[in-house]
Structure 1
């Protein structure tokens, strides 16, 4: 049996937290921009930090499992 939940959570977070896909924080002209499909190095760093914190929360602290 393999635990699939870490791979599912990491893939979903990567898709949702890619800069410019859903939102960009900080935006180019406003603090938060939605669906603009642009990015900057500051936005990449902020999204990488948010991704790491959410991944830590979901995988280490909550420790979910899905065995298939």
Structure 2
């Protein structure tokens, strides 16, 4: 049985890296962007979710990331 782990690995890594407040927060409370402040807001979660969806779609569909095992 051939299993494609590419979409799973990309989704997990991007979820960790694009968590609002971990590496950056866009938009931030005081400035437009803040780095490593470890806080979040509702609008920042929405912006990061849209960025996540767009980048995930580009990486999986257009680039075609595949990691095969089996």
State the TM-score, normalizing by the size of structure 1.
0.96
Deviations 1:9-40 (A, max 9, x none): 00000000000000000011011001011000
Match of 1:19 in 2: 20
The structure with the greater share of residues assigned to strand is 2
5+ residue gaps, structure 2, are: none
5+ residue gaps, structure 1, are: none
- Quote the RMSD (CA, aligned, Å): 0.6
